[in-house]
Chain A
Amino acid sequence: MEKVTKDNSRSKILDALLADKDITVEDALENEMILNMGPQHPATHGVLRLLLRLDGETIVSCVPELGYLHRGYEKMAENMTYLEFIPHTDRLDYLAPLSNNVAWALAVEKLIGIEAPPRAQYIRMLICELSRIASHLVAIGAFAMDVGALTVFLWTLREREKILDIWDILCGARFTTSFTRIGGVANDIQPEAIAKADWFINQFDDNLAECEYLLNNNRIFIDRLEGVGVVSGEDAVQLGLTGPTLRGSGVEYDLRRDMPYLYYNDLDFKVITYNEGDCLARYFVRVDECRESAKMVKQILSKLPKGNILTNDPKKVLPDKVEIYTKMEELIHDFMIVNFGINPPVGEIYSAIENPKGELGFYIVSKGEGHPWKCKIRSPSMVNCQGLPHMIKGRMVSDVVAIVGSIDPVMGEADK
């Protein structure tokens, strides 16, 4: 292959954009323009670059360019132990960091072959559902702000601050919490956190109804979003979309019900699906999922079992801090686990959970050492962004913002 230099590299992405040479322009007075919706843009949800080829105001083709936030996660994972990687998983989908922690902990536990005790599993379910609500609140707020309804953004952020307060009490940090550990969670849930979660859920429905009241019957909101960015169910499955983007197109696929993990079998919940496949359907999926998650949090809080929060497996699970300072064996185990890592068996696993954005999967290959030989992060936002050219073609420039908002990509995850 020829060496790529600065002169001929710029033409590669333009070649991809101009690839459909059989698109003809009908009116002789109109001409084509290439517009760059650059990485720095108020409405692109992070650093996503879109190259648009316009015919007047209609979009003829679109090429997204990622990589502006590529931090090298997979290379770093090959050089650090399984425990050291937990803070890095926080920053993947930074709107729902606890969900990513749970995904990594489940993947490593599957590889090692241990299971966390029931109380830890229920606590993990609780934080997963709370982060689903938090992530969807930002998604709805930013989406409404992009389309023009600025008030809703401040109201949903006000609700999200209450959830961040719960996490502050629980683990000490507002977000980027690094709460789960291999074999359980870091510390037990405090009674103040449970009381606050209870209070939050009881007043959440009314506040969400307030935000919905502004949007659901709003003529401008509905006109702006109805019929925009339509993806049929079959196309969605072909493109690999997951999460609310897929469920808004009529395909009823939710990892919590189809490939159950944690204790989701014991909970009673619906999988929200809407059939139209446009931006409005995806918005309704998110709002209804918030409500469904609130009901699940109520069930979890009532069913929380008693017990300890870390498994009792000395070679694989970090021992209790009090015992490290007083007993010899725990000190040695702690030293070995922190410095040299847990040694899982030789093999590979793939474990996925239902993140608020879609299916987050970790594929870990282990050669028996303390750090993984390879770790691949299957990020839902990157695959959802792949559906962008399909959805944008034929629409106008102002619809691009609405479509990107309805897919809700998070570039920290998409670029890894």
Chain B
Amino acid sequence: MEIKELLTQKIKDKLPDVQFTTVEFRSELSIIINKKDIVKLCLFLKDDPDLAFNFCEDVTAIDWARRNQRFTVVYHIFSMKNKFRLRLKCDVEEDDCKIDSVSSVWKTADWEERETYDMYGIHFNNHPDLRRMFMPEEFEFYPLRKDFPLMGIPGSLPLPKK
């Protein structure tokens, strides 16, 4: 059976209470799920012997700049056994910017989630060490949000004196 049908079939069988929709574009499969199911699904995808998604490539977020469900957290995972790449997406509200961390499933997600927190302000629950990644710790804003200007906010980053 092809890997895409096998995947959807297995999720329907083993995790019946996880609701998901699939989108396919340019032969890439994306699965959109609810944010409370993310750790359960990731554990299942990693531990299943046929699917074996053992490699987490990327964790990031998109800011849609709209009132409802402003952010979408995106995970790219890869299965070395089947040579298949999958994308998982969860919507996050602006008022309740929290989602569970998958760093307990793949250690790669540790720094990637820190970077997402630094750039977008999305808080990851149960993360071992949630600090800012690139910007200095005293920085108050989240640079990749759509309401942050490209040139920055004057005075937010101090410069040494001449």
Interface residue ranges, A against B (CB under 8 Å): 3-6, 9-10, 12-13, 16, 19, 66-67, 70, 72, 74-76, 79, 110-111, 113, 237-240, 251, 253, 258-259, 347-350, 352, 359, 361, 363, 365, 373-374, 376, 378, 382-383, 386, 415-416
| A350-B76, A363-B74, A373-B62 as given contacts; A16 in contact with B131, CB under 8 Å | yes
Q: Provide the bound-state CA to CA distance between A81 and B62, in Å.
A: 18
Q: Provide the bound-state CA to CA distance between A361 and B135, in Å.
A: 22
The main secondary structure of chain A at its interface with chain B is mixed
| A374-B62, A376-B58 as given contacts; A240 in contact with B137, CB under 8 Å | no
Besides the contacts A238-B54, A350-B87, A361-B76, what 7 more A-B pairs have beta carbons closer than 8 Å? Answer: A4-B140, A5-B138, A67-B135, A240-B106, A240-B108, A258-B80, A376-B60
Contact B110 A9 (CB under 8 A): no
Tell me if B161 is interfacial: C-beta within 8 Å of chain A. Answer: no
| A240-B108, A386-B110 as given contacts; A66 in contact with B26, CB under 8 Å | no
Specify which chain B residues have a CB less than 8 angstroms from the CB of A79 in the assembled complex. 150
Q: Which of B56, B85, B134 contacts A350 (CB 8 A)?
A: B85
What are 7 A-B contacts defined by CB distance under 8 Å? A9-B138, A13-B131, A66-B134, A75-B148, A239-B108, A240-B55, A347-B26
Q: Provide the bound-state CA to CA distance between A350 and B62, in Å.
A: 14
Tell me if B45 is interfacial: C-beta within 8 Å of chain A. Answer: no
Q: Provide the bound-state CA to CA distance between A251 and B137, in Å.
A: 37
B50-71 CB contact bits vs A (8 Å, 1 = yes)? 0000111110101100000000
Q: Which of A76, A111, A415 contacts B150 (CB 8 A)?
A: A76
Q: Which of B83, B85, B87, B134 contacts A70 (CB 8 A)?
A: B134
| A6-B138, A76-B150, A386-B108 as given contacts; A365 in contact with B62, CB under 8 Å | yes
State how many angstroms separate the Cβ of B156 from the closest Cβ of chain A.
13
Contact A110 B135 (CB under 8 A): no
Q: Which of A16, A72, A238, A374 contacts B143 (CB 8 A)?
A: A72
Contact B26 A111 (CB under 8 A): yes
Interface residue ranges, B against A (CB under 8 Å): 25-26, 28, 30, 54-58, 60, 62-63, 74, 76, 80, 83, 85, 87, 106-108, 110-112, 115, 119, 129, 131-138, 140, 143-144, 148, 150
Contact B150 A75 (CB under 8 A): yes
Contact A70 B135 (CB under 8 A): yes
Q: Which of A240, A374, A382, A416 contacts B107 (CB 8 A)?
A: A240
| A75-B144, A238-B108, A386-B110 as given contacts; A67 in contact with B129, CB under 8 Å | no
| A74-B119, A253-B80, A386-B111 as given contacts; A110 in contact with B58, CB under 8 Å | no
Q: Provide the bound-state CA to CA distance between A111 and B56, in Å.
A: 22
Q: Provide the bound-state CA to CA distance between A240 and B113, in Å.
A: 13
**Closest A residue to B143 using CB positions:** A75
Specify which chain A residues have a CB less than 8 angstroms from the CB of B133 in the assembled complex. 66-67
Contact A350 B138 (CB under 8 A): no
| A72-B143, A238-B107 as given contacts; A9 in contact with B136, CB under 8 Å | yes
**Closest B residue to A1 using CB positions:** B123
Contact A363 B60 (CB under 8 A): yes
Contact B58 A378 (CB under 8 A): yes
Q: Provide the bound-state CA to CA distance between A221 and B5, in Å.
A: 52
Contact A67 B136 (CB under 8 A): yes
**Closest B residue to A16 using CB positions:** B129
